[in-house]
Chains A and B, each alone.
Chain A
Amino acid sequence: MTLHIGNVEKVPAERPFTGFVRPFIRSRRRGYLGFLFRRIAQSALLFFLTILLTFALINVAPGDMVDVMAGDSGGADPGYVQMLRGKYGLDRPLPVRLYNYVDQLAHLDLGYSFPQSAPVTDLIADRVGPTLLLMASSLALSVAGALVLGTLAARHVHRATDGIVSVLTLLAYATPVFWVGLMLILVFSVKLGWFPSSGMETLFSGYTGWTRVKDVAWHLVLPAATLSLFHLALFTRLLRASLLEVLRQDFVRTARAKGIGEWRVLGVHALGNALLPLVTMVGMQIGASLGGAVVVESVFAWPGLGRLAFEALGARDTNLLVGIVLFSGLVVITVNLLVDLLYGWLDPRIENV
């Protein structure tokens, strides 16, 4: 029997998650700066394409801002419609409007939203806090829940616990979000009176400091729970599958052979290695949940960006919609960058090239 010692050296050994210090030492050596610059250059191009595409799409859609405004009113006359198109510059050809927009953007000005009668920057700034709060807490909730449920399911695979988790996640995955929201309101607001049914804080409460934080948190519970259910299901299934795969690997058998307790094997040795797919998915879902919370924001009257984008689309409000898309793009690109960095942190074998 020959030992292929040379080969063994080349194949990276599967090993337990060994800590958080090493990747940083490695990464400093590799130089994140060059990587960052490359990514920023790619992002700039992406941004430009985003502007072009959004601009083109909203202009391909039938009807413009003035159609909506005049339609809202009724009883208009051709002079009125013409006056508005002139005021808003909609009578100029598309390339001219696009040029003007890019020119304005180059001066760091996102423009003015006529349907909302306010500068786009102000409109977006008002919604950033509530949006990020809702997004972050619902994702945190779903990741935390998935870590528990996914680990439980993997630990007891093909047994009752696994079955229950599977059924629950399937239900959560398949139930429409608006229905879940309304049911939670019905039970926890109307019947039990534990949580408020809508809004982000108690109006004119005069709360400041810690009291206000608690008030917002109290309002956040139902919408965040509603929004997190879908992701909880998704992440749980993913983590269970990923854990089961890792658990079949040699280093886990080694760990068990050394006499390490099953929960420790799972929670420390296997989980660290099983997290990568989850991190990837969370990163992708952040982009989706920026604009995808329209339903939850509507049901709970949460003042988020999704609703604003939906209104902008319906009103054919090009300035506002492109502004929101650009802002969301910025968030998604930043998050993806962080996810890439996180890979290296979680798994030193991944090089940030």
Chain B
Amino acid sequence: MPLSRRRLLEDAALAGLGIALPFAPAASAAPSRGGRLVIAIDSEPPVLTSALTTAGPAQYISGKIFDGLLSYDSRFTPRPQLAQSWSVSPDGLTITFRLRPGVLWHDGKPFTSADVAFSVLQIWKKYHSRGRSTFANVVSVDTPDALTAVWHLSNPAPYILSALGSPESQIIPKHLYDHGDVLTNPRNIAPVGTGPFRFVEWKRGEYVALARNPTYWDKGKPYLDQVILRVLPDGGGAMTALETGEVNLVLDPPPADIARVRRLPGVSATASTGFTAALAAFEFNLDRPWFKDVRVRQAFAHAIDRGFLLRNIWYGYGQVADSPIPATLADFHATNLPAYPYDPAKASQLLDAAGFKRGANGIRFSFTHDPLPVGQAYKRSAEAIRASLAKIGVGMEIRSQDFATFVRRVYTARDFDTVQYAASAGPDPAVGTQRFYWSKNFQPGVAFSNGAHYSNPAVDRLLVAAQSERNALKRRALYARFQQIVQTDLPKIPLVSVNSVALGKGVQNYAVDAYGVMGNFADAFLVAA
């Protein structure tokens, strides 16, 4: 999942207590039953099903109402959820799912293969911004019986099996969606799902209330009676609500507060390095004359102290990134890539060699930088980068604007020199990474496409080959070669792989899979804080 919503992009994705600190603190006692879990989120969702949007709050909430075909453990290995088993034909053109029997929608109707076929063909392929490309190769779905769905593909698409989790690809009920306009369907805001929690009420500006689904297929689960997602727009306010016990869990807390609050009695922090982690990067507009020379881009990479950014902007919650495919995507991350250690002297030499000599005032050239206007992390790291570039004689002016202006400026007007944002690189490079480097994804008007206008035929060939390569080892080799080339060309400089952090008090076992706090919380339970 590419950009999982700007909050996530933002410092949200921020912290991670490093890979060292794994998922939720291990449950020491047997799970307790009952109780109400109150979760703080910082903004309102547009709808309550992420079949139609990839907005972060929608994923947090609807992941608990809907199950997906598959779930993923913390190593990204697919696990059965609504699909009990699945098999891919040797040519990679047919995927057969055997569905779990006895699953009921929250309105009592049975869940069947017709719901799967409808969701893929009529919803994801049309209305989901990423589903349109992820499932582009799915041409038809056969439903020989109520519990079998056979997908037919025009080309092999190995990444599909990484994208079938609930927050990314939700199965929605055909009987409630097969008539009328999908985008204004009343069920979008009062959803009927198959997941461990049923929708109860949405009071806008205040909360979304969910209650235990007594007919959930995983007998005995969920443990909680109620899950309430409260909208607390101010990060500081959310932190005090955690301290006073008004909420049990804060998603995407302000990075600067994490260190203090996690030391309070009963509070624990979890850092997801899973699908929700995001890669912060500094991206060039390659149409600008200064940035056409690769030596200038490499000079910037040497001038930016990424360790400093990790320590001082993200407070250590993440890892320094040295590749567009971060180390958290262990199946694809390559080592021994061109490295750009912090070295201002080398950066100056590269700029001299590129013909950008210091002028009489000591300045080589000046440009304008647009950090993503969400949260504080991008703006603050931009200030640090400005200071670093000043040392090598490059002037950088930081521009402020709102989100809509940013998107229009960068992706439609292309009226920018450099930008900085974070985007999730998972769940598969074909979904999360390719879009920024593939020349065919230079699509003015489309947010978070190939905004650099990077075009390298060798890279295009590698990306296209890797997209449909069925052999895992060959696929890995193709992406390794890709990483070599783009880390030499540097159309964007990977800075920090930031992890999404949650602070919990009196709650355990909530982030147990690759989706972290976007997971379904069937295993979560309350403990005395």
Q: Which residues of A come within 8 Å of B, CB atoms? A: 61-64, 67-81, 83, 87, 112, 114-118, 123, 126-127, 130, 178, 182, 185-186, 189-190, 193, 196-200, 203-204, 298-301, 303-304, 307-308, 311, 313-316
**Which residue from chain B places its CB closest to the CB of A305 in the assembled complex?**
B205
Q: Considering the chains assembled together, what is the distance between the CA atoms of A190 and B244 in angstroms? A: 6
Given the known A-B contacts A61-B405, A87-B183, A198-B246, are A73 and B206 also in contact in the complex, defined by CB atoms under 8 Å? no
23 CB contacts below 8 A, A to B, read A71-B6, A71-B407, A71-B448, A72-B3, A72-B5, A72-B53, A74-B423, A74-B447, A75-B3, A80-B132, A81-B446, A87-B181, A116-B204, A118-B204, A126-B204, A130-B205, A190-B240, A197-B246, A199-B230, A298-B233, A298-B237, A301-B237, A313-B402
Give the contacts of B498-523 with A (CB-CB under 8 A). none
Task: Please determine whether A73 and B184 come into contact, CB atoms closer than 8 angstroms.
Answer: no
Task: Point out the residues of chain B lying under 8 angstroms from A313, CB to CB.
Answer: 402
- What A residues does B449 contact at CB under 8 A? 76
Shortest beta-carbon distance from A63 to chain B in Å: 3
Q: Which residue of B lies closest to A182 (CB)?
A: B236
* Complex Cα gap A130–B246 (Å): 20
Q: Are A308 and B188 in contact (CB under 8 A)?
A: no
Chain A contacts for B53, CB-based, 8 A: 69, 72-73
Contact check, A73 vs B5: say whether CB atoms are below 8 A apart.
Answer: yes
Question: Least Cβ distance of B159 to chain A in Å?
Answer: 12
Question: Which residues in A have their C-beta under 8 angstroms from that of B209?
Answer: 203-204
Asked whether, in the complex, the Cβ of A304 is within 8 Å of the Cβ of B241, the reply is no
With both beta carbons as reference points, the residue of chain A lying nearest to B57 in the complex is identified as A72
Name the residue of chain A whose CB is nearest to the CB of B188.
A117
Which residues in A have their C-beta under 8 angstroms from that of B204? 116, 118, 123, 126, 303
Closest A-B pairs by Cβ, 8 of them? A74-B3, A63-B404, A303-B205, A63-B408, A73-B129, A75-B2, A75-B130, A76-B129
Within 8 Å of chain A (Cβ to Cβ): is B232? yes
- How far does the alpha carbon of A327 sit from the alpha carbon of B129 in the complex, in Å? 34
- Asked whether A307 and B233 contact (CB < 8 A) given A73-B130, A186-B240, the answer is yes
Specify which of A72, A79, A126, A204 lies most central, judged by the most chain B CB atoms within 10 Å of its CB.
Answer: A72
Task: Please tell me if B54 contacts chain A, counting CB pairs below 8 Å.
Answer: yes
A-B residue pair count with CB separations less than 8 angstroms: 192
* Contact pick for A75, options B46, B129, B408, CB 8 Å: B129
Interface-central residue, A64, A76, A115, A196, by most chain B CB under 10 Å: A76
- B residues apposed to A, CB below 8 Å: 1-6, 36, 38, 43-44, 46-47, 53-56, 126, 129-130, 132-133, 181, 183-184, 188-189, 203-207, 209, 226, 228, 230-234, 236-237, 240-241, 243-244, 246, 401-409, 411-413, 423, 431, 435, 443, 445-449
Cα distance, A2 to B109, chains bound together (Å): 101
Check B237–A185 contact: CB distance below 8 A.
yes
State the CA gap A77–B209 with chains docked (Å). Answer: 34
> Are B402 and A78 in contact (CB-based, < 8 A)?
no
> B431 contacts which chain A residues (CB < 8 A)?
75
CB-CB under 8 A from A61, the residues of chain B are 404-405
Q: B236 to chain A: which residues have CB within 8 Å?
A: 182, 299
Assembly CA distance A24 to B230 (angstroms): 50
> Which of B46, B409, B435, B446 has the most chain A CB atoms inside 10 A of its CB?
B446
How far does the alpha carbon of A299 sit from the alpha carbon of B47 in the complex, in Å?
A: 24
* Chain A residue with the shortest CB-CB distance to B186: A117
Chain A residues near B446 (CB-CB < 8 A) = 70, 76-78, 80-81
Assess the A67–B412 pair: CB atoms within 8 A. yes
In the complex the two chains form, is A68's CB within 8 Å of B228's CB?
A: no
Please give, as numbers and ranges, the residues of chain A lying within 8 Å of B447 by CB-CB distance: 67, 70-71, 73-74, 76
Q: Contacts A87-B183, A117-B188 given: A197-B409 contact, CB under 8 Å?
A: no
**Is the pair B46, A77 in contact by a Cβ cutoff of 8 Å?**
no
Q: Which of A115, A182, A200 contacts B46 (CB 8 A)?
A: A115
Tell me if A81 and B205 are in contact (CB < 8 A): no
Nearest Cβ in chain A — how far from B111, in angstroms? 24
Q: Which of A71, A299, A315 has the most CB of B within 10 A?
A: A71
In the bound complex, do residue A68 and residue B443 qualify as a contact, i.e. CB atoms below 8 Å apart?
no
Contact: B133 with A77, CB < 8 Å?
yes
The CA of A308 and the CA of B43, in the complex, are separated in Å by 11
Q: Which residues of B contact A186 (CB under 8 A)?
A: 240
Residue of B nearest to A126 (CB): B204
Bound together, the chains give a CA A87 to CA B1 distance in angstroms of 25
Residue in chain A with minimal CB distance to B231: A301
Shortest beta-carbon distance from B226 to chain A in Å = 8
Chain B residues with CB under 8 Å of A127's CB are 205
